[in-house]
Amino acid sequence: MNLHDDAQIQYEELEASFGAVLKDSSLSWFGKFIDPTPKDDSLPLLSVTKKPYRDLILANTISVFDFRIYILARQAALLSKMGLTDLIMRKVIVFLGMVGGGLRRYTVCSMHSILSPPDG
């Protein structure tokens, strides 16, 4: 049995399904794109213990960004065990390119709402 390969296939399928949902923009079951917490920018990106990811998923309160981080971190841990560090690097590069645009849009929207005068 090669459980690592089977697990990697499952993560690939989950990632592909999530990508399809992102393209359709049907993320109504996710609360926010990102829900930053203190020290988020100083914690390791690929740590699966920096936040209670499983609890957030079960409570249906995980953000899109945190869900993507969790999936990437799990894949990286698995690929590391398999000795496929080059694949980890490629996945991180793809992730940064994909999520970077969302973070830019989030930052622009957040700054716009802060700088805009209140209605009324």
Domain ranges of the chain: 3-115
pTM of the model: 0.72
Torsion-angle region of residue 108: left (phi > 0), alpha (psi -120 to 50) or beta?
A: alpha
How is residue 103 written in tokens?
A: 């973070």
Can you give the pLDDT of all 120 residues of the chain as single tens digits? Answer: 588 888 888 888 888 887 777 666 666 666 677 777 777 777 788 888 888 999 988 888 888 888 888 999 999 999 999 999 999 999 889 888 877 776 666 665 554 444 444 454
